[in-house]
């Protein structure tokens, strides 16, 4: 590895012109120095921002070791529970007895009502089917008795199987 260094008077003309003149004056001291002035202005701005932030944070706060609060606690309860959809009064607003304070979201109650209606309809339908089924069974029993009476088989309900009953119902003689 080799490094070439050019030394000599011929390279003196290659030196940049700005470095040829050296100033012999001393830089200004104190507030006259622009760097010091910028530093003081920036520090002052940061300190001012910190003071403004602390003021905004502690403006309406009160700290103490043994705090007590005086106030009136009024219990409230609704007749039904649910999510509040709308509040109809403002803070510290006087209210009258019986005045509506909040509206409760009706979707939960509407779903419960729909479910109850569906349950009622299902129960009514089941009851109707059972009543019709009992009527149908009673009609079949009456026909069986008439068929058995015509054929003079009085003890048949005990002895006949369901297959034989069907044959009687169709009009055939049981085997």
pLDDT in tens, 27-83: 778 778 888 889 999 999 999 999 999 999 888 887 777 777 778 877 877 788 888
49-77 burial: b if 16+ Cβ within 10 Å, else e: eeeeeeeeeeeeeeeeeeeeeeeeeeeee
pTM higher than the cut 0.75? no
3-class DSSP state for residue 85? Answer: strand
Domain presence at residue 23: no
Bridge partners, 102 (sequence order): 87
What pLDDT does residue 40 have?
A: 93
Question: What is the pLDDT confidence band of residue 128, given thresholds at 50, 70 and 90?
Answer: confident
Domain presence at residue 161: yes
3-class DSSP state for residue 31? Answer: helix
Domain presence at residue 150: yes
Tell me which of 43 and 24 has the higher pLDDT: 43
What pLDDT does residue 15 have?
A: 53
3-class DSSP state for residue 34? Answer: helix
Query: Which whole number is the average pLDDT over 139-155?
Result: 66
Domain presence at residue 8: no
Domain presence at residue 47: no
Tell me which of 44 and 23 has the higher pLDDT: 44
Domain count, the chain: 1
SS3 content of the chain, % helix, strand, coil (to 5): 55, 5, 40
Domain presence at residue 140: yes
| Residue span of the structural domain in which 160 resides | 120-170
* Distance from the first to the final alpha carbon of the chain: 126
Distance CA 138, CA 144 (A): 10
Domain presence at residue 166: yes
Q: Do residues 101 and 87 touch, judged by C-beta distance below 8 A?
A: yes
Distance CA 98, CA 166 (A): 71
Domain presence at residue 129: yes
156 has a pLDDT exceeding 60: no
- Which of 4-8, 73-77, 93-97, 158-162 has the least mean pLDDT? 158-162
């Amino acid at each position: 590895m080799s490094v070439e260094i050019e030394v000599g008077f011929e390279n003196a003309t290659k030196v940049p012109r700005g470095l040829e003149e050296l100033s012999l004056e001393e830089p200004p001291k104190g507030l006259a120095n622009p760097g010091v002035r910028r530093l003081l202005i920036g520090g002052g701005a940061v300190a001012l921002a910190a003071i403004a932030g602390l003021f905004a944070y502690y403006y309406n706060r009160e700290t103490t070791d043994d705090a007590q609060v005086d106030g009136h606690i009024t219990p409230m309860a609704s007749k039904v529970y649910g999510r509040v959809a709308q509040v109809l009064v403002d803070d510290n607003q006087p209210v009258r007895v019986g005045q509506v304070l909040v509206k409760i979201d009706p979707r939960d109650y509407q779903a419960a009502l729909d479910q109850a209606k569906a349950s009622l309809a299902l129960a009514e339908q089941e009851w109707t089917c059972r009543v019709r089924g009992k009527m149908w069974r009673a009609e079949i029993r009456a026909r069986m008795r008439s068929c058995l009476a015509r054929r003079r088989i009085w003890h048949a309900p005990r002895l006949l199987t369901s297959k034989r009953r069907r044959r009687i119902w169709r009009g055939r003689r049981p085997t």
